[in-house]
Structures are given as C-alpha cells and as structure tokens.
Amino acid sequence: MKKTKLNIAITGLNNTDNPGPGIPVIRSIRESDEFDVRIIGLAYENLEPGIYMADMVDKTYQIPYPSAGSDILMKRIEYINSVENIDVLIPNLDAELFTFMKSEKRLEEMGIHTFLPTMAQFEERHKSNLMEFGKKYGIKVPFSKLITNTWDVRKIGHEFEYPVLVKGKFYDAYIAYNDDQVINHFNKISAKWGVPVIIQEFVKGTEVNVVALGDGNGNTVGAVPMRKQYITDKGKAWGGITLGDENMLKITKDLIAATKWRGGMELEMIKTIDNEYYMIEINPRIPAWVYLAVGAGQNIPEALVKLAMGMDVPTFKNYEVGAMFIRYSYDLIGNIKQFEKLSIFGEL
C-alpha cells in the first residue's frame, strides 16, 4: 500500500519531567501505516529535548511565544511554510491554542490544515468556567472560586474546608492545607501564569483520565480511559494503566455529543469510593500520555491528522484493557554546534 506523504508541524517538544505531548504525538504518527511523514518541530526554547531527537524530528524551527503577538508568530509560520510546505499543524500546548485557533483562517490560506476546538468550545471549558460548564452539561464538578489577589484568600475561608487545590489558569496545581500555603501557591502560580488563580474543593478519590477525539459533529472517534499508577511531584503521570470503565466512556461520549467537540481532549476526573465521578479539568488538546492509547489499539494522533486532511475516519470500537505505560529518562548526546546553530539561525 502506497503511503500518503505529509509534512506535519508539531509543537510541545519539551519532553522533560513536565512533558509536552509533542514527542508522543510524533511517535504515534510515525507508526501510521497510511502516512509517510516529514516532521517539522516548532520549539519555543532551544533546550527542548525533542529538538535533538533525530529519529523523531526531521527539522526544527524556533518560534516566538504567543505572548509576542499573533501577527509575529504567524509571520514566522509563513516563513517556515514557504520552506517546508506544511500540510498539517498540530499545536499541543494550552497556552498557544488561543493564538492558533484565532489564526485558523490565516493558516488555511497558507494551505496549512488544523483540527482544533472552536473558540466557544475552548472558552466554556476553561478552569475558571468549569462550574458553569458542569451545570450546563450535567456533570459533577467540585466547587471552585476565582481569586485575583492574596486578600481574597482570607475571604474564602468560610467557603472551603482544607485541604483545597490551588490551580493556574493554564498549568500547575498544588494542594494547600491552610491560608499561608494558599498564598504561597497563589504567588508562585500568578507570577508564572497570571490571574485569576482557581481555588477548588478537594475531592477525595482516585484520579482517572480519558484521552478522546471528537469529529466536530458530536461523534467520538476514539476514547481510552486510564488510571495514573505513578505521579510526579508536578502531578504528571509517569505510569498508567488502561481501564475498562464504561461510566467514564459514557461521560466522555455524552460530553462530546452535547458539545460537538472538535479535536483532541483530555478529561481529568476524580472517582470517589461511592463510584461518583467529578470532573476537575478538561484539557483542549491531546495529552502527553497519548501513546498509551496507541499501544492499546487506538492511534488517536493518526486519526486527528486524517480529520485535519478531510479524510474518512472510522470510529475505534475497542482497546486493550490493562495496557500499561511507564516513562523513563534517557540521556541524549549532541554537540554544542547544534545548540549554537539553533540559537543563532533559529533552525536546526
């Protein structure tokens, strides 16, 4: 069978102890039986490990942070596209999604295909809007409140029982057991991600997650639930196992049907000892543990590429229950000349 040749640009190459989804997405797409791909890495920092993985990334370009402005970022993408003729672009980081969604029409004019959530879908599932989201779609969500300064901490004492979760609007979540710890976490998070910071009720139970893909018409192309077996101090899964949990799948499929979700997503839930499910977060992109789904029989990144290219995508029917993943560290050996070339010319 002749494979379709595609040039695919991918972000999120920061494969560290707080891994981005880029390398797992690339690994998944490279295993496709239908695509012959050239991978163009898009990196924000010149020490993102994926840059130096020659078997994963064919060429890397440094791009400006979205905070520099969408026009500056798009002009850089225009230049890269003039060299690489990009077919599909897959952004993998929460903080960049707004800019790429906003620029979707401009990307289309360049001939670059994406498959991203709509702006309305992206905004309504925000952590700051999660309580309203839960009420709208009939999903249990822990009580939460937004704070914008440390004075607010003293005001929320009568609304919460400790411990509570302190969350950034894009990333980071910490458990706090008293007001002083909330203030400490607030200062750390707001300095990095800005305000508001979210204070969320702590629900005791087991953290479970689902990676899923919606076709934009209310259909679930694929969905695989898992339980974290090993968690880092940043709350990231360093090991996990797929679950045969029909309740999690029903919640996911019902949500995708109701929202007509477009693109990849990750649902983070807490399952209580009473078998109740509380949604604690909805990430509007493929998670870093997606390769577990591929290993279990659902190549979700490959299906995402097909959707972006307007190809027919059959729905995944099954996956292997009990498939397990374990992350590990690996030392890459390179040369300072690679670092210098990327730093000076913005390409490697």
Q: Tell me if the bond preceding 284 is cis, omega within 30° of 0.
A: no
Domains (ranges, CATH) in the chain?
A: 4-115+331-345 (3.40.50.20), 153-201 (no CATH), 204-326 (3.30.470.20)
Please determine, for residue 235, whether its predicted confidence score (pLDDT) is greater than 80: no
Instruction: Say what the pLDDT of residue 307 is.
Output: 98
What average pLDDT does the segment 203-230 reach?
Answer: 96
Please determine, for residue 194, whether its predicted confidence score (pLDDT) is greater than 80: yes
Split at pLDDT 50, 70, 90, the class of 221 is very high
Distance CA 177, CA 183 (A): 11
Between 20-29, 201-210, 239-248, 337-346, the lowest mean confidence (pLDDT) is in: 337-346
Q: What is the pLDDT of residues 91-118, one digit of tens each?
A: 999 989 999 999 999 999 999 999 999 9
Q: What is the pLDDT of residues 139-159, one digit of tens each?
A: 999 999 888 888 888 777 778
Q: Quote the pTM value.
A: 0.92
Instruction: Say what the pLDDT of residue 128 is.
Output: 82
Instruction: Say what the pLDDT of residue 226 is.
Output: 98
What average pLDDT does the segment 62-79 reach?
Answer: 94
What average pLDDT does the segment 74-91 reach?
Answer: 98
What average pLDDT does the segment 295-299 reach?
Answer: 98
Q: What is the pLDDT of residues 301-313, one digit of tens each?
A: 999 999 999 999 9
Instruction: Say what the pLDDT of residue 161 is.
Output: 87
Please determine, for residue 121, whether its predicted confidence score (pLDDT) is greater than 90: yes
Instruction: Say what the pLDDT of residue 67 is.
Output: 87
What average pLDDT does the segment 308-335 reach?
Answer: 94
